[in-house]
């Protein structure tokens, strides 16, 4: 539980500088339960706080934990060069809060992308030591064979990698489709593994991280949602 003054609340939530947030309040643009906040000095309990700015409702979040269904042709990089960045799919104030993608998907990869402004969470989720499974559905250019599945399961040699990299699980879903579960997060890993096994990745979707599936979130491409604590708990290694 913590109480904050309203200008501080708006600032922490990414609505602008302290000065600008005070102006918003002075202009009568901020309300709680239909009552306009009269002074920026008003302090209020932040836990569960819902407030409105310009008649749009926002829930106070100390930290943001977000899942985005990433469409193709968006870049995860902070300084995108050829396509718009994924941050453009979120409300503008989230960028002010320094929300970042947790790991990266290639610009042409679709599916579940986590985003957060919680440094330790980002670090823990990205740590190779934690072995959090990531589930990918890959569409292949050439037909899938038993041999391809076996190769991906037993490990393939990627350039610059000291050891063979293997899928934790790999199963055929269709003539040109595979489900691949990886516990590492190397650069272009699925595409490079498929290429090293003699096939080619034509399309790639991340369908789950840990036990949290994109299907369970019901997000259309380009949509995002806040993650509840019980959903965050599913983003864990299998053995936890």
Site for ligand URA, residues 203 to 232, rule: CB under 6 A: 204
Q: Is 188 in the site for ligand URA (CB under 6 A)?
A: yes
Question: In 3D, which of 137, 136, 121, 141 has the Cα closest to residue 201?
Answer: 141
> Token digits for 138?
């890959």
Is 22 or 191 the residue whose CB approaches ligand URA more closely?
Answer: 191
Alpha helices in the chain (DSSP H): 6-12, 18-26, 92-96, 119-126, 146-154, 189-196, 214-217, 229-232
**Is 106 a catalytic site residue?**
yes
Which of 21, 190, 208, 214 forms a contact with ligand URA (CB under 6 A)? 190
Strands 201-209 and 110-116: parallel
Is 202 or 217 the residue whose CB approaches ligand URA more closely?
Answer: 202
Q: Is 183 in the site for ligand URA (CB under 6 A)?
A: no
Of the residues 106, 108, 146, 215, which is catalytic? 106
Residue 94: half-sphere exposure toward Cβ, Cα within 13 Å:
23
Smallest distance, ligand URA to C-beta of residue 233, A: 23
Residues 92-111: x where in contact with ligand URA by CB under 6 A, - otherwise, as a string? -------------xx--x--
Of the candidate spans 1-9, 20-28, 164-172, 184-192, the one that interacts with ligand URA by CB under 6 A turns out to be 184-192
Distance CA 125, CA 237 (A): 10
Which of 46, 189, 199, 205 forms a contact with ligand URA (CB under 6 A)? 189
Size of the site for ligand URA (CB under 6 A): 8
Of the candidate spans 47-55, 165-173, 185-193, 232-240, the one that interacts with ligand URA by CB under 6 A turns out to be 185-193
Which of 191, 199, 232, 235 forms a contact with ligand URA (CB under 6 A)? 191
Cβ neighbours of residue 130 under 8 Å, at least 6 residues apart? 124, 237
Q: What angle do CA 13, 216, 231 make, to 5 degrees?
A: 50
Residues 89-125 as b/e (b if ≥16 CB within 10 A, e otherwise) read bbbebbbbbebbbbbbbbbebbbbbbbbbbeebbeeb
Q: Is 165 in the site for ligand URA (CB under 6 A)?
A: no
> Token digits for 95?
């960028």
> Token digits for 220?
């259309």
Smallest distance, ligand URA to C-beta of residue 112, A: 11
Which residues in this chain contact ligand URA in the complex, by CB under 6 A? Answer: 105-106, 109, 188-191, 204
Q: Which residues carry out catalysis?
A: 106
């Amino acid at each position: 539980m913590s109480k904050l003054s309203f200008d501080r609340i708006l600032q922490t939530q990414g609505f602008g500088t302290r000065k600008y947030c005070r102006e918003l309040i002075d202009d009568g643009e901020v309300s709680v339960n239909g009552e306009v906040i009269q002074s920026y000095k008003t302090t209020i309990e932040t836990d569960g706080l819902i407030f409105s700015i310009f008649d749009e409702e926002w829930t106070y979040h100390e930290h943001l934990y977000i899942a985005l269904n990433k469409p193709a042709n968006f870049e995860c990089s902070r300084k995108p060069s050829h396509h718009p960045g994924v941050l453009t799919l979120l409300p503008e104030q989230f960028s002010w809060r320094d929300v970042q993608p947790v790991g990266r998907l290639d610009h042409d990869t679709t599916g579940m992308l986590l985003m957060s402004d919680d440094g330790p969470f980002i670090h823990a989720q990205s740590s190779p030591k934690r072995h959090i499974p990531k589930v990918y559905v890959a569409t292949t250019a050439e037909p899938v064979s038993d041999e391809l599945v076996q190769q991906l399961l037993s490990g393939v040699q990627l350039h610059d990698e000291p050891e063979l990299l293997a899928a934790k699980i790999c199963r055929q879903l269709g003539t040109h489709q595979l489900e691949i579960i990886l516990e590492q997060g190397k650069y272009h890993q699925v595409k490079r593994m498929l290429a090293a096994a003699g096939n080619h990745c034509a399309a790639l979707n991340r369908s789950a991280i840990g036990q949290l599936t994109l299907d369970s979130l019901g997000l259309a491409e380009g949509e995002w949602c806040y993650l509840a604590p019980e959903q965050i708990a599913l983003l864990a290694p299998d053995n936890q």
